[in-house]
Amino acid sequence: MQLAFRWYGPDDPVSLAYIRQIPRMTGVVSALQDCRPGEAWPREKVRALRQTIEAAGLRFSVVESIAVHERIKLGLPGRDALIARYAQSMEAVAAEGVPVVCYNFMPVFDWLRTNLAMPQPDGSTALQFDQKEMEGIDFSEGTQDLPGWHAAYAGEEIAALRAAYAERSEEDLWENLKYFLERIVPAAERTGVRLAIHPDDPPWSVAGFPRIIASGAALKRVTQLVDSEANGVTLCTGSLGADPAEAARLPETIRSLAGRIHFAHMRNVRRLGERSFQESTHPDGDVDMAAVMEALLETGFDGPARPDHGRMIWGEEGLAGYGLYDRALGAAYMNGLRDAALRKAT
């Protein structure tokens, strides 16, 4: 396991200098934040980002993410040109030595939360999601204030996208994902990049938009759409763990995906009710993190893994879920789990 840390670039309140001080931290997970979906990433910008990371004594180990354009997800005319630009972005990443590209196929929205600062009994705050609260959000004015999403859509844009997705079944979305992978995986093979699809977060349909990468079985199906080692997955314990059935079978899911997990997000959640959860400390929640680590090591996983969202603790202010202190504690916990699992195995 290669310990990595998410960094949002020079404007991130968490500095690379602080990230480097986390024990055993070697990698950085980042992206070109100013490139919109459908734009080809310029190699010189990827190079500048890599050089900044390496100057801090770290490695640019994962791109998260190169966004997939909505026209590709919907199977609309023009997708071939957009896929070609996606391949160009991947080539730029590969040319700068970044081995893994994490991406997702979630319609319109990325990860979603309804509360970015849910007060905890110890005085910290955590991310929280509640389906009923989500259903009460009025999208007629757009998404400017929607927690967990950094892009803004006007009300009419959301209405048009909802109408477009309403015309497509889940199998249509699977076909569109297959179409994308059939064209992008060969490019990944040529460049040596490993693709790692991220499960939907939360793993069910929200705001009237369907989600299909919502289970371990769905991740397995992705790898079978194009059977290539380059076509892999990101194991996100928190995304899958929001579903109690998926949380219980995470070790089984990991074993079923042996050799195709190219990246891991280690995060814990505590369910508050049906389709309602909060993100907990890494050691305490409904996901058995020790069993997850044992399964990862048992299957030979040696890719990048990062402590995912953390609480805001010790008075820290910054990007919700992406403060330094609690994620650093999560990294330390991951180190402990790894050491214990390796000792148990021998």
pLDDT at 193: 97
Residue type, 83: I
pLDDT over 60 at 70, yes or no: yes
Judged against a pLDDT cut of 80, whether residue 141 lies above it is answered with no
Q: Which residues pair with 115 in a beta bridge?
A: 128
Q: What is the pLDDT of residues 223-246, one digit of tens each?
A: 999 999 999 999 999 999 999 999
How confident is the model over 148-205, as pLDDT tens digits?
Answer: 454 567 888 888 998 999 999 999 999 999 999 999 999 999 999 999 999 999 999 9
Tell me, letter by letter, the H, E, C secondary structure of the chain.
CEEEEECCCCCCCCCHHHHHCCCCCCEEEECCCCCCCCCCCCHHHHHHHHHHHHHCCCEEEEEECCCCCHHHHHCCCCHHHHHHHHHHHHHHHHHCCCCEEEECCCCCCCCCCCEEEEECCCCCEEEEEEHHHHHCCCHHHCCCCCCCCCCCCCHHHHHHHHHHHHCCCHHHHHHHHHHHHHHHHHHHHHHCCEEEECCCCCCCCECCECCCCCCHHHHHHHHHHCCCCCEEEEEEHHHHHCCHHHHHCHHHHHHHCCCCEEEEEECCEEEEECCEEEECCCCCCCCCHHHHHHHHHHCCCCCEEEECCCCECCCCCCCCCCCCHHHHHHHHHHHHHHHHHHHHHC
pLDDT of residue 208: 83
Residue 110's pLDDT is 85
Residue 147 pLDDT > 70: no
What six digits make up the tokens of 23? 């024990």
User: How far apart, in whole angstroms, are the C-alpha atoms of residue 101 and residue 62?
Assistant: 6
pLDDT of residue 197: 98
From 30-39, 52-61, 274-283, the region with the lowest mean pLDDT: 30-39
pLDDT at residue 125 is higher than 70: yes
Q: Give the pLDDT score at 223.
A: 98
Percent of the chain past pLDDT 90, that is, above it, reads 87
Torsion of CA 259, 245, 330, 336, to 10 degrees: -70
Query: Would you state the pLDDT for residue 138?
Result: 82
Q: Which of 123-137, 139-153, 299-313 has the lowest mean pLDDT?
A: 139-153
What span, in angstroms and rounded, lies between the C-alpha atoms of 81 and 76?
Answer: 11
The mean per-residue pLDDT over the stretch 272-281 comes to 95
Q: What are the catalytic residues?
A: 198, 236, 265, 308-309, 322
Domains identified in the chain and CATH numbers: 2-345 (3.20.20.150)
- C-alpha gyration radius of the chain: 19
> What predicted TM-score, i.e. pTM, was given to this entire model?
0.94
Distance of CA 264 to the CA centre of its chain: 9
d(CA 261, CA 144): 34
Q: What is the pLDDT of residues 77-121, one digit of tens each?
A: 999 999 999 999 999 999 999 999 999 999 988 888 999 999 999
Cis amide bond preceding 65, omega within 30: yes
